[in-house]
Structure 1
Amino acid sequence: MSECCFLLPNLQISIFHRNNFPHRNFHPSISLSHRSKLQSFRTSFPTQATSTSSTPMDVQRSEESATNTHSSSPMKLLFVEMGVGYDQHGQNITAAAMRACRDAISSNSIPAFRRGSIPGVSFGEMKLQIKLGVPHSLQTYLDIEKVKSVFPYGKILNVEVVDGGLICSSGVHVEEMGDKNDDCYIVNAAVYVGY
């Protein structure tokens, strides 16, 4: 039987394992000193996941990414919507990108802007940044203005197109649907919403 022991100030928790590796029927027996202090410890400290093995460089990277994905942008980020769009027939990358953006925004509602839930921020101050993952060879065929037309409101600050998405076979070539071949185009979208 092996023992795993956690030491906290004025508190010791020991978990005894029957084997070195817990298995499906594992039932640990927990020995507690100062049981009442464990309860107060649980309620008085917020839970936060931390990594004890992170290097200073890892911490710096995570802090940079946590502050803002677009650190140079004049936008306070509230949330990010993500979507995927396909064009299975017709080989139209713009149609796939528009579907990806619709997918990103279609299952969300943003009442905060219209109801004035953010102090000092009016509905007209909603801002969007759009990032599209598009296969490199198709990026020149993408009509950005048509993609922008998907968004009913919000000032679009920029549309960034990066290598991504996918070209794969749809499994069938249907000339009646405008197919030139059996290619299916897939685009990924991330929509950053803020003010």
Structure 2
Amino acid sequence: MQRFIIEMGMGNDLYGQDYTKAAARAVEDAIRHSSIPMFEALGLSHDEMEVRVTIGAQEPDKVDTGALAAKLPRGRVTVSAVKGGLNVTNPDSGNVTVIATAAVEAFLPKQ
């Protein structure tokens, strides 16, 4: 497989400390402006595409990778979560803002 695109994004959950919500927003940020016209131009099927998503979060075990994979519209998707992102504590309230990052990579068989 050969990587032909990588997009990066960031998302947060300001009040709920929901790592999956922050991760979903990071994935959305990464792909929101993406358009890959080569599939139509070259007659390729989206089924040939492998999509690998890596989420960075301070508590990766709290990211529902299956729920994130289900939200991606094309390709064969795998999602993994690793230690990364940020937790930022408001010193006045103690509230924790969860910030997640995402790298979305797309691969095709060598053409």
Question: Hey, what's the Cα distance between the residues in 2 that align with 1:86 and 1:170?
Answer: 14
- Partner AA of 1:85 in structure 2: G
- Displacement of 1:172 in angstroms is 6.8
Q: Give the counterpart of 2:88 among 168, 176, 191.
A: 168
Quote the residue 2:31 is aligned against.
105
Q: Give the counterpart of 1:86 among 4, 9, 12.
A: 12
Quote the residue 2:74 is aligned against.
153
- Partner AA of 1:159 in structure 2: V
RMSD, aligned α-carbons: 1.8
- Displacement of 1:125 in angstroms is 0.8
**2:49·2:107 contact (CA, 8 Å) conserved in 1?**
yes
- Partner AA of 1:153 in structure 2: R
Note closer, same or farther for the CA distance 1:111–1:90 as it changes in structure 2 (3 Å cut).
same
In the alignment, structure 2 segments of 5+ residues that lack a partner are none
Secondary structure (helix, strand or coil) at the match of 1:149 reads helix
Secondary structure (helix, strand or coil) at the match of 1:124 reads helix
Q: Give the counterpart of 2:22 among 72, 83, 96.
A: 96
**1:101·1:150 contact (CA, 8 Å) conserved in 2?**
no
**2:68·2:79 contact (CA, 8 Å) conserved in 1?**
no
- Partner AA of 1:79 in structure 2: I
Question: Hey, what's the Cα distance between the residues in 2 that align with 1:163 and 1:140?
Answer: 9
* More strand by percentage: 2
- Displacement of 1:124 in angstroms is 2.0
TM norm structure 2: 0.86
Higher relative contact order (CA 8 A, sep 6+): 2
String of CA shifts for 1:154-187, please: whole Å, max 9, x gaps: 111x3222210000025675xxxxxxx5100011
**1:116·1:122 contact (CA, 8 Å) conserved in 2?**
no
TM norm structure 1: 0.51
